[in-house]
Chain A
Amino acid sequence: MKTPFSTFDAKAIMKELGELNAKLIKGSEFLTEIDEIDVGTAPKELVYEEDKLKLYRYHREGSQTVGVPVLIVYALVNRQYMLDLQPDRSFIRNLLKLGLDIYIIDWGYPTKVDMYLTMDDYINGYLDNCVDAIRAQTKSDKVSLMGICQGGTFSAIYSALHPEKVQNLVTLVAPIDFSTNDGLLFNWSKCMNVDALVDNYRVIPGDILNEGFLMLMPFNLNIKKYIDMLDVMEDKEKLLNFLRMEKWIFDSPGQAGECLRQFVKDCYQANKLAKGELKIGDHVVDLKNITMPLLNIYASADHLVPPAASKPLNDLVGSDDKTLYEFQGGHIGVFVGSRSQKELAPTIANWLTQRDSGKPQKAQAALAKKAAAGAKVKKSVAKALGKKPAKAK
C-alpha cells in the first residue's frame, strides 16, 4: 500500500503540534487584551418602547430616497444587531447609505413574567404597535416590512392580517412552508414534545435552542472553527470580528413559552401557515390577503431555513408584483458575508426605490437585464424572474 503521507512524518507532526500550542499561548494573550466587543454601532434613537420591546430609528446622513419607512423585524431567537455586526460589514449601514428610513425592533430578553406571551401578542400586539408608532411619527399611512428568518414569518402573518398598513413586504430567509424535510431542525422539531419543554421551563433558555444549532455541524462549529481562529488571532481586527460573531451566536434570548409552543406545534409540526389554517388571535391567517408587492429572498445553501421552506411564499400570496430572489450562500452569509454587502442591500434598496416611484415593472426588467449580463450571482435573479414573473391576477 502506497502512503499518501510522503512528507508527513512524526517529527513534522510534533513540530506542527508544537506550533499549535505556541499559537494558542500567544492567542490567549491577545484574547485577554480585548476589553470590549462592540456590536450594533450604527447610530440610532429609541422611538418607542413597550414592556421589554424597544423600537429604534437609525440616523441617516444622506438624503432619504424612499418615502415609505422600513421596519426590520428580526427573529425572536437571536439578537437583531447581527445586521450591524461590524462597521465595515453592516447591512444596516448599507441600507442607510442607499437612502432608506430604517426602524428596527429589539424584542429584548423575555423573563418568566413573559412566559404567557403568545404569537398573537407578538404579532397583533407588539408588532402592530410598532407599525402604528412609525406611522404616527412619519405621517406615513403605511410602512414597508422587512422580516428576517422567524421575523419574516411574523411579517408575512402580519401583512396577511393587516394589509392596509403594509406598503411592501420583504422577507429574508423566512420559513413559510414547514412541510419540508430538507433541514435537520425541521425534522427534529417534528419529534419534539414542545408541551413538555414549555411546561418545564416556561421561558425556554436560549442555550437549549443553541445546542440544536451547534449540532447541525458539530465538528466545524465545536472544533475546526476555533483551530482556524488561531491563525488570525494576531490580527486584532480579525480577532475582534471573530469575537463579534461569537458574541452574537451565544447571545440567545430565552423564548416565551406560549409563543414557542404555538410556533412549533402549528408551524413546524402541523404546517398550518402554508395550509391556511393558522389562527392568530381570533383570525385565521390567509396568505392570499398579502396583495402588496413582495420580495422574497432565500439563501441557496441555507441549512437552517432551507430554500424549500422559503420559496413557496410566492405561490401562496395574492400579490401581482412578487419577486423571488436567490442569494448564493448560507443563512448567516446573507447578512455578514462580503458578497452580501455588495449585492443584497443594493438589491433591496433598488427594489423598494422602484416601487416607491411606482415603477415596479421597469424595476423587474432592469433586474432581469442585469442578471442576463452574466455574473454568476446575478444569474439567479434572472432565473427567478424568468421562471416566476409577476403574474397579473
Chain B
Amino acid sequence: MENANDYFNAWMKTQSQAFEALREQTERMQAIFQGGNTSAQNHFGAWQKAAHDALSASADADVVKDTLHKTFSSSNAFQKLYEIWQPLLKAIQGKTMDQDTYKDLMDPVKIKEMVDKLFDFDADTLTQLQKQMTQFSAQLASNAEHFGKPWAEAAMQNLQSFPQFAEGHPEALMKMFHTLFNAFDNTVGRSFHVPAVGKDREKLELMSRCVDDMSVYAAKNAEYQHRMYITALDAIEKVMAELAKKVEAGETIDRFDGFMDLWVAVNEKTYFGLFQTEEFSRLKGDLLEAGLNARKHYFKLMEMHLFDLPIALRSEMDDLYKTIYELRKKVKKMESQMKEQRA
C-alpha cells in the first residue's frame, strides 16, 4: 500500500508545515504582546454539536429523523465502500490482479473520505482551522476597533493566502509577512502604546493565546486523523489477506453485503488493535485536552468582551448555581432535623 501511504504521509506533512507556520506567526504576535510563548487548544466541533443538539427537542420525531439520516449515511458508506473496492473486485473477476499490483487499484482520496465520514472528521483540519480563524478574526475586528483591527485585517488577508502557502507558493509567504508588517506598523509600530496592565492588555494576550490554542489543536487533530487513515490502510491489507484465505479454501462470496460483513469484521478488529494501545489512549486524551483548553480561553475571551453588557456571565451564573446548591443542602438538612424532632 505504498502509494496510499505516500498520499497520507504527504497530507500529514502539509498539515504539519501549515500549522507550524501558523504557530510561528502566533508566537511572533505573542512575543510582541506578552514576551513569551504559551500553548493551548480548541474543541469547537464537539461543543457546537452539543450546543446544536441541546437546542433540538427530544421528541420522537427527532429519533426518526436521526435514524433516517444515519440510515442514509450508512447506505452512502455502503456505496462508497463499493467505489473503493470496485477496481479491485473487477481485477479479481478479470483474473488480472496479483499481490503486487492491487495496491495501485485503491484510491486513497476515497479511503480518506470514507474514514472522514465514519469518524466524523467533517473536513481537513486546515480548512476547519481557516474557517474558525476567519470567524475569530471577524470577531476580533468588531470588538477591538483601534488596536486589534489592523491585526485582524492582517490575519484575514493571511488566511486568504494560506491555502496557497500550504501548497508551497513562496509568494504567498511573502504576502503574509507583508500584511503582518503593515499590521505591526499600524499598531505597535505607530504608537507603542500597548497598555502594560489592565483589561485591554489581558484581552490582547488572550486573543493571541486563542490563535495559538487553535493551531495546537489542529496539530493534535492532524496526528489523530493520520493515525486513523493509516489504520484504514492496514485494514485493507488484512481484508486482502482474508480474501486470499478464502481463495485457498475454495470459498465464495456471492453478494456484496457478504463482502461488507467481512470488511466490517476485519476493520473492527484492526481498529480495536489501535484503540487498545496506550499510545492511542494518550493521543485521544491529548486531543480532548487540547480542544478543552482552547474552549476555556475562548469562553474567557467572550466573557471579557461581554463584561460591560447588562447580562449575566457564565462565571457569575456559576456562583449563583453554587449558592443554590449550598442553600438546597441547608434546607434539606433543616427539613430532616425538623422531621426527626417531630418523630
Contact = CB atoms under 8 A, between A and B. Distances in A.
A24 B75 contact: yes
Contacts of B97: 1
Interface of B: 43, 46, 49-50, 53-54, 58, 60, 63-64, 66-68, 70-75, 77-79, 82, 86, 89-90, 92-93, 95, 97-99, 118-119, 243, 246-247, 250-257, 259-261, 264, 267-268, 271-272, 275-276, 278, 281-282, 284-286, 288-289, 292-293, 295-296, 299, 317-318, 321-322, 324-325, 328-329, 332
Contacts of A247: 60, 63
Nearest to A16: B256
Contacts of A10: 90, 93
A197 B288 contact: yes
Contact of A243 (B63, B77, B86): B63
Contact of A188 (B119, B285, B299): B285
Given A115-B321, A218-B119, A3 B67 contact: no
B264 A3 contact: no
Contact of B255 (A6, A16, A224): A16
A219 B317 CA distance: 41
Contacts of A215: 119, 275
A224 B256 contact: no
> What 3 pairs between A and B have smallest CB-CB spacing?
A191-B285, A226-B74, A205-B50
A4 B60 contact: no
B332 A125 contact: yes
Interface of A: 1-10, 12-13, 16-17, 20-21, 24, 27-28, 31-32, 34-37, 51, 112-117, 121, 125, 181, 184, 187-188, 190-193, 196-197, 199-202, 205, 207-208, 211, 215-220, 222-227, 229-230, 242-243, 246-247, 250-251
B49 A207 contact: yes
Of listed A8, A20, A21, A243, residue having the most chain B CB within 10 A = A8
Consensus secondary structure, chain B interface: helix
5 contacts: A4-B252, A12-B255, A31-B71, A32-B68, A200-B43
Contact of B278 (A114, A187, A199): A187
B296 to A, nearest CB: 6
Given A31-B68, A226-B74, 6 more contacts: A10-B90, A32-B68, A191-B284, A207-B46, A223-B77, A226-B75
Contacts of B98: 1
A200 B46 CA distance: 12
A194 to B, nearest CB: 10
Nearest to B80: A223
A114 B321 CA distance: 8
Given A4-B251, A193-B285, A230 B71 contact: yes
